[in-house]
Amino acid sequence: MRLSNVAGFVFHIVNTIILLYSLIFYPESTEKATSALTFVFWMVVNIDGLFFSAASGIIVNHMVRNVLAYYWHITIYSALCHVSLDNINYPCML
């Protein structure tokens, strides 16, 4: 999952750079309306892809953080209260 997010993000960054390079240094490539609309379409698609890649990375980071925080909480709780399978039903009074 991590590599696919990075690959998607890098792919969209490279495409955006190439599109901007073409627009800046080859302005004759957008003389016709159809080619200009094609550039705009691909720019919007790449920006949407960047948003989706960033959002999925944030979601994955958030979920991993929640799982690690839960694991850390359980580990600390069991260490402080000496919880084992024998006395799991008795709550710890800290």
For the chain, the domains span 2-81
pLDDT in tens, 22-53: 989 998 888 899 999 999 999 999 999 889 88
33, with CB counted inside 10 A (0-12, 13-18, 19+), is exposed
Residue 61 CB neighbours (<10 A): 11
**Assigned token pair, 68:** 């690690």
- Per-residue pLDDT, 30: 85
Model-level pTM greater than 0.75? no
Q: Are 2 and 60 in contact (CB under 8 A)?
A: yes
Cα–Cα distance between 71 and 63 in angstroms, integer? 12
Residue 55, pLDDT > 80, answer: yes
**Confidence label for 80 from pLDDT (cuts 50, 70 and 90):** low
